[in-house]
A and B are shown apart, each in its own frame.
Chain A
């Protein structure tokens, strides 16, 4: 069952202004996004700042209204059923702001009561994130950035939501707490809960997510599961040689072969078996095959100049309309 399903979801800012602005000021934040997130999935939404990640999240929660297209979350339309969506969703906004005059506990009580559901997971999540009862009794104004982020995570998960929508969830967390948070998400996945989160920390997306969508200037440029995305990546190979280099020209998946005395480097893509067969009898003293990283896959969509120009051009809709 699809927990999130969007069809041609589009959001332009700057339309319907009074007085009307110049047409070039219409910003295309999201353009015809069609994506489906399945139950029990951890779905990563990737993109640099301003790509449209937060716009997507706010559309799903009914905080902003789509210009065109449609979306359903947990079976409810985002325009007509946003209350029902929010009742079953936990949300962590990026750079969460809390009421400074309240204690952490009061803050969690208030936000929990607004759901009208028992906060059955609060104690467990707080414990995992090392937010003791004593700490929760301190005013939020005394909290560090990391502690505020922990409160943000607890408030998003404390009522055991069917869907957690998390915007940059590990921002401000130290590595230990990041790991605790990853474990939490893993457990939620095992419990069949769905998580949709945006991030630009590619290592955590790679570690956590079942599938990722990469968004650029409001348009989705890739949607794939992580292993597939990585499998398509070229791995960099370095080898030290005690004799003649192996004959790699023409071997399937091997490109960019550079041979220097006692050394060979190349790029390897796809199935590794032809490559291994080709180097089997070579006198190799050392071999390094760098694992494919999501970062490289991500950068590919942003690195080339054409893409950058496209992104800049697509940012402003005006001329085309």
Chain B
């Protein structure tokens, strides 16, 4: 790992990090407020329409419990889009983007190994993801306290939820990095990474909304982040292990492929 590259990345990303952390903190406050304001009232309405009940299970969440509301917030496209800034966009621009712009070669012409460069970016991505997920949870805790529902949360499980969330986005970031080190241009790398993430997300959402398609969910990475379950029962070991294995495999792939690739002159 290169401390100089790490400091450079922190400097380059600090404003982006501030914006994402602020946005996710705000997003995190919404779930307890929505739950406390509308959850109980909506429950009576939804019970009258069985079709709506399944719809309320969006992404494995449940708007009628606090932990379920938090789960909906976690799997919501807005939260995923914000976290994708560091789980997808950052890995793609960090290698394939720098390669395409031509700035990668002036760094790699220094005594910095490609593995060291990759590990530095990966550590930075994990740090940014960790801060972003933490911001969401901090927003949630503050809002839960403000609307007097904090007693419905097992605070000790919030840390485990943070860990589960970080692992999911670590796995996604590792896949995006694997795509990024495999291509000389952003387009193909972004295509591969986004295709994997979008397919995984679609499988999870379809499976959560349509009982006949539930069998699709285990094929989605997003299925292995179950905030509702983690908040109620603690960390799910299988989910944790699977996310670690997927992320680890992508990291190993990148560590093997990146140093062996030819970095021909940018076109």
Chain A, range 61-120, C-beta contacts under 8 Å to B: 61, 63-65, 83-84, 86-87, 89, 91, 93-99, 101, 110-111, 113-116
Q: In the complex, what residues of A have CB within 8 A of residue B106's CB?
A: 91, 93, 96-98, 111, 155
Measured between alpha carbons, how far is A101 from B266 in the docked complex, in Å? Answer: 20
Q: In the complex, what residues of A have CB within 8 A of residue B265's CB?
A: 54, 58, 93-94
Cβ of B259 to closest chain A Cβ, rounded Å:
9
> Are A114 and B263 in touch, CB under 8 angstroms?
no
B111 touches which of A54, A55, A84, A94 (Cβ 8 Å): A84
> Are B102 and A97 in touch, CB under 8 angstroms?
yes
> Are B113 and A83 in touch, CB under 8 angstroms?
yes
A91 and chain B: residue at smallest CB distance: B109
Measured between alpha carbons, how far is A89 from B260 in the docked complex, in Å? Answer: 21
Q: In the complex, what residues of B have CB within 8 A of residue A101's CB?
A: 12
Knowing A97-B102, A110-B4, A110-B8, the reply to whether A64 touches B109 (Cβ < 8 A) is no
Measured between alpha carbons, how far is A99 from B9 in the docked complex, in Å? Answer: 12
Q: In the complex, what residues of A have CB within 8 A of residue B5's CB?
A: 114
> Are A114 and B105 in touch, CB under 8 angstroms?
no
Q: In the complex, what residues of B have CB within 8 A of residue A97's CB?
A: 101-103, 106, 266
B12-32 CB contact bits vs A (8 Å, 1 = yes)?
A: 100000000000000000000
Measured between alpha carbons, how far is A99 from B5 in the docked complex, in Å? Answer: 13
The residue in B5, B108, B260, B265 that gathers the most chain A C-beta atoms within 10 A of its C-beta is B265
Knowing A101-B12, A114-B4, the reply to whether A64 touches B262 (Cβ < 8 A) is yes
B interface size (C-beta, 8 A) = 23
> Are B264 and A58 in touch, CB under 8 angstroms?
yes
B102 touches which of A55, A84, A93 (Cβ 8 Å): A93
Q: B110 an interface residue at 8 Å Cβ cutoff?
A: yes
The residue in B4, B12, B109, B260 that gathers the most chain A C-beta atoms within 10 A of its C-beta is B109
Q: B112 an interface residue at 8 Å Cβ cutoff?
A: yes
Q: B2 an interface residue at 8 Å Cβ cutoff?
A: yes
Measured between alpha carbons, how far is A116 from B105 in the docked complex, in Å? Answer: 18
B5 and chain A: residue at smallest CB distance: A114
> Are A64 and B2 in touch, CB under 8 angstroms?
no
Q: B256 an interface residue at 8 Å Cβ cutoff?
A: no
A61 touches which of B2, B4, B109 (Cβ 8 Å): B109
Measured between alpha carbons, how far is A146 from B263 in the docked complex, in Å? Answer: 26
Knowing A99-B103, A101-B12, A110-B8, the reply to whether A64 touches B110 (Cβ < 8 A) is no
The residue in B5, B110, B266 that gathers the most chain A C-beta atoms within 10 A of its C-beta is B110
> Are B263 and A63 in touch, CB under 8 angstroms?
yes
B100 and chain A: residue at smallest CB distance: A97
> Are B111 and A83 in touch, CB under 8 angstroms?
yes
B110 touches which of A84, A96, A99, A111 (Cβ 8 Å): A111
B2 and chain A: residue at smallest CB distance: A114
Cβ of A98 to closest chain B Cβ, rounded Å:
7
Q: In the complex, what residues of B have CB within 8 A of residue A89's CB?
A: 109
A64 and chain B: residue at smallest CB distance: B262
B105 and chain A: residue at smallest CB distance: A93
Measured between alpha carbons, how far is A96 from B105 in the docked complex, in Å? Answer: 9
Q: B107 an interface residue at 8 Å Cβ cutoff?
A: yes
Measured between alpha carbons, how far is A13 from B265 in the docked complex, in Å? Answer: 12
> Are B102 and A115 in touch, CB under 8 angstroms?
no
Chain A, range 142-186, C-beta contacts under 8 Å to B: 155
Measured between alpha carbons, how far is A84 from B241 in the docked complex, in Å? Answer: 39
B105 touches which of A55, A63, A83, A87 (Cβ 8 Å): A63
Cβ of A221 to closest chain B Cβ, rounded Å:
22
Q: In the complex, what residues of B have CB within 8 A of residue A55's CB?
A: 264
Measured between alpha carbons, how far is A97 from B107 in the docked complex, in Å? Answer: 11
The residue in B4, B5, B102, B111 that gathers the most chain A C-beta atoms within 10 A of its C-beta is B111
Cβ of B23 to closest chain A Cβ, rounded Å:
21
> Residues of A at under 8 Å CB distance from B?
13, 54-55, 58, 61, 63-65, 83-84, 86-87, 89, 91, 93-99, 101, 110-111, 113-116, 155
> Residues of B at under 8 Å CB distance from A?
2, 4-5, 8, 12, 101-103, 105-113, 260, 262-266
A-B pairs with the 9 shortest C-beta distances?
Answer: A97-B102, A114-B110, A87-B111, A64-B262, A91-B109, A113-B4, A63-B263, A86-B111, A83-B111
Query: Beyond the given A54-B265, A93-B106, A96-B102, could you list 10 further A-B residue pairs with CB under 8 A, ordered by the A residue number?
Result: A55-B264, A64-B263, A84-B111, A86-B111, A87-B110, A96-B106, A97-B106, A113-B4, A114-B5, A114-B107
